[in-house]
Structure 1
Amino acid sequence: MNIGMLLPFIVLIGAMFLMTRSAKKKQQAAAQMREHLTPGTGVRTIGGMYATVKEIGDDTLTLEVAPGVHAIYAKNSIGAVLEDSEYNRIVHGITDEPVGDAPVVPDDASSLTAGETDEPAKTDLSKDRDEAPKLDLGKKDEPKGDEPQDGKTDGEAGAK
């Protein structure tokens, strides 16, 4: 037999072995993560929902998805176990940083300008709207009376 013909098959078998080995490692890591769950731990489900573990069963977990709202999930639906600081930052917006070090976010769009002038931005647009010329959109002023312009009344086929 020619070794050149067997080489692609050997490479394919080796690649399959490596892929299954890495998949098994991921499965073992996920199973180990689920085994170390404790009540009160913050988790993220594989669907992306954040919750707190309340009770742990054999194959299921009771998660608190909102204050006082409990739902039962399969253990294998847990995508990640979160550290307390990460869970609080994501769910509650609580950070461990002191407030003085946090960046200041303005309430308006004044910081979007490059600071050309020191004058405050003009926010009252109603004055500009009144002074602007009216645009002609091709509409003609329609008569304001109850009678149609062609003299017809509702339900008539022809003119009067």
Structure 2
Amino acid sequence: MRPLKENQDTVDIGLLLPFIILIGAMLLMTRSAKNKQRAAAQMRDTMQPGSGVRTIGGMYAVVKEVQDDSVLLEVAPGVHAYYAKNAIGVVLDDEEYNRIVHGVEPEKDDDLPEAPEDVSSLTGAPDDDATEVDLGKAKGSADGDDQDGTATK
């Protein structure tokens, strides 16, 4: 028998590197997916009767009753339906729910500065009172045209 060379009995690290990277990427993806699931479950646990929610199908409703695996939603005045807790996509705060469903805008905060009515001061555009500059050709120009475009002789 022939003696083995030094490189024949060891595995080349270059062949293992892609597999190591692939396994690492898979571990990172499953970890982030578990974190998202944990956050969604925590959000669903904060539901209380009276909370506004949006289902994964895009329907807005108000929570009437919360049970272990299901929730009773009022989808319209007097119309109730049972949904699985997993079907709740987002629990909304009262301001956002009223803005989306009822069109009620939140009240403005008096501490915030308001934008001026005339935004030309912000953009550097000339005011109406500024002198206008006429960029038309003057009378008696080199090509013989007046300001109104008629030729002069």
TM tier relative to shorter chain: 0.5 to 0.7
Structure 1 residue 95 displacement after superposition: 1.0
Q: Which runs of 4+ in 1 moved over 6 A?
A: none
| Partner residue in 2 for 1:108 | none
- Distance in structure 1 (CA, Å) of the matches to 2:59 and 2:28: 32
| Partner residue in 2 for 1:45 | 55
- Distance in structure 1 (CA, Å) of the matches to 2:93 and 2:45: 16
| Partner residue in 1 for 2:80 | 70
Residue among 89, 92, 109 paired with 1:82: 92
Residue among 14, 29, 32 paired with 2:39: 29
- Distance in structure 2 (CA, Å) of the matches to 1:36 and 1:97: 26
Q: Deviations over 1:21-69 (max 9, x none)?
A: 0000000000101111100000000000000000011100000000110
Percent identity, aligned pairs only, is: 72
In the alignment, structure 1 residue 7 sits paired with structure 2 residue 17: yes
Name the TM-score, length of structure 1 as normaliser: 0.60
| Partner residue in 2 for 1:106 | none
What number of residue pairs does the alignment pair up?
99
Counterpart code for 2:86: N
Name the TM-score, length of structure 2 as normaliser: 0.63
Counterpart code for 2:24: G
Structure 1 residue 97 displacement after superposition: 3.0
* Matched ranges for 1:1-160 at <5 A: 1-97=11-107
Counterpart code for 1:61: V
Q: Which runs of 5+ in 1 are unaligned?
A: 102-160
Q: Which runs of 5+ in 2 are unaligned?
A: 1-10, 109-113, 115-153
| Partner residue in 2 for 1:129 | none
